[in-house]
Amino acid sequence: MAFESINPAIGDVVERFDPMAESDLGTRLEAAAAAATPWAETRIEERCALLARLAVRLREDRAALAALITREMGKLIGEAEAEIDKCALLCDHYAEHAAHYLQDEHIASDAGHSLVACQPLGVVLAVMPWNFPFWQVFRCAAPSLAAGNPVLLKHASNVPRCALAIADLFRAAGAPEGVFSTLLIEAGRVEAVIAHPAVRAVSLTGSEAAGRRVAAAAGARLKKVVLELGGSDPFVVLDDADLDLAAETAVRARFMNAGQSCIAAKRFIVVESVEAAFLERLRTGIEALQPGDPARPETTLAPMARADLRDELHEQVRASIAGGAELLLGGASLTGAGFHYAPTLLHRVQPGTPAYADELFGPVAAVLCAEDEAHALRLANDTRFGLGGSVWTEDSARGERFARRMACGAAFVNGMVKSDPRLPFGGIGDSGYGRELSRHGIQEFVNLQTIWVR
């Protein structure tokens, strides 16, 4: 079955691509295997120079790459441009800091001297999603390559042109043969790639179901895995919050990328004494969103990436309403071409319903009322996920105390949850395990080798 590149704004097929033949897949795997030792032995300064050249290429091709993202997965053009900018910043970061992150750690022991060295692990398979089709790839590839590991990319099937464009960027930046390759293969062929002797680790960003399958396949072969899965991030508004700032940020935190983000705010937990005032502000902000063509600058709400994702979201909304949630805005697909869904606001969301318990991956905000701060914390932590979360209060010390008790990988006080190359990123629970970005991320795919010398 061919991979289809579909424009979500109009629903039309732009291009079709045949899956990679088994012979071509074998050639790519062998090329990565052959590149592993030479790339590991390449001086880190040269590996980082590749990243610096990639940053230059990303900035030079920014307009065309952003237009590709918008055309293939529907992201607003301004958000697509920002995604390319962020990839360039990431490459710059590791080009500058990788050597420091990977330097030997000298530790006193009974040896004459002893240390921990960061040695390359081998080929890394990156199984990546469509929602940030460049950023997710670079977030894995840049540190892996800097650490001396070749990378194989298995991208989402609905962004094949983005996957090929990324491979073109690496070639143009001078990546040696086999150091970075895109594999246009179906999901059912991933396990065979994991089983290949050259592949030593897997990084997956995607659904819980995909994470469980990949973790099982890698675990059966004792190969390292990092998983960044779904989220149902709480956005907690305490009684002393700046409601104007909180509500303005809430709209951006929920509806950016049409709500198709693992770290989007999904459950708005508001202390009862300020609920009505916050809800009024949130509703006003949502009503101001302008769905439309994501290539036009005046559009502020993008379409969803695929028809099946829109249909699944609508079923979750319907089930949540049937379970007691009150529909204040939206709750339906928009008429016309493309995969547009109305910006939706649910109030009085009930435990056990999809809007409370599951991840709603689209433009739907769910509001829950908390009696007080203690109740708000219980609601925030009443989830099987644990990716991100935020808390809003005029008292930053109070906010930090609250954040430390949130069961998640990233807790933000008076700020929207986001990823930053300088800070580790990842989750707990059903949001996965392992970390990306910063020193912690680059050290996920190295052999921390103890060296003891008399």
Q: How far apart are the first and last CA of the chain?
A: 60
Q: Which backbone phi and psi does 384 adopt, to 5 degrees?
A: -80, -10
* From 72, 81, 83, 228, active-site residue: 228
R_g over Cα of the chain: 22
Pseudo-torsion of CA 121, 444, 157, 169, nearest 10°? -70
Residue with tokens 């040695």: 119
d(CA 86, CA 311): 31
Q: In 3D, which of 79, 85, 78, 86 has the Cα closest to residue 62?
A: 85
Is residue 54 a contact partner of residue 62, using CB atoms and an 8 Å limit? Answer: no
Are the CB atoms for 167 and 179 separated by under 8 Å?
A: no
SS (H, E, C) 329-376: ECCCECCCCCCCECCEEEECCCCCCHHHHCCCCCCEEEEEEECCHHHH
Q: Which residues pair with 452 in a beta bridge?
A: 114
Q: How far is CA 81 from CA 5, 64, 415, in A?
A: 20, 9, 22
Of 48, 91, 162, 262, which is the active-site residue? 262
The answer to whether residue 79 is catalytic is no
Q: What is the largest CA-CA distance in the chain?
A: 75
Q: Is 48 one of the annotated active-site residues of the chain?
A: no
Q: Which residues partner with 270 through β-bridges? A: 237, 369
Write out the catalytic residue numbers: 228, 262
